[in-house]
Amino acid sequence: MPVKVTVFNNGPIRIEGDPGEFVICDAQGKEFGLAGRRVISLCRCGLSANKPFCDGTHGRQGFQSVCEARELPPPAPKP
């Protein structure tokens, strides 16, 4: 089963997959230890005290952002 990424309206980005199928890295490429989790949620509101992971602050602060699936245009050709 492929890794599934879900963008929740007014909430986080959820990543689901078997352990080892996905990694989360910092800007230097160092991996976060996910302790075998199959599901994690990433913060979209920017208010989490546990960034990049969601801690539920979006709900207490009234974060709003609705995202609907759509087709992206083809990538621009490289020069």
Q: Read off the pLDDT of residues 5-58 as tens digits, 9 standing for 90 and up.
A: 999 999 999 999 998 899 999 999 999 999 999 999 999 999 999 999 999 999
Structure tokens at 1: 């089963």
- Domain-wise residue ranges, the chain: 1-68
Per-residue confidence (pLDDT) for residue 46, from 0 to 100: 96
- How would you write 22-43 as a 3-class SS string? CCCECCCCCECCCCCCCEEEEC
What distance in Å separates the CA atoms of residue 69 and residue 72, rounded to the nearest whole number? 9
Per-residue confidence (pLDDT) for residue 49, from 0 to 100: 97
* 1: pLDDT strictly greater than 80: no
The kind and range of the H/E element at 16 are strand 13-16
C-alpha distance across the termini of the chain, in Å: 36
Per-residue confidence (pLDDT) for residue 19, from 0 to 100: 83
Per-residue confidence (pLDDT) for residue 53, from 0 to 100: 98
What pTM did the predictor assign? Answer: 0.88
Which superfamily, per CATH, for 1-68? CDGSH iron-sulfur domain, mitoNEET-type (3.40.5.90)
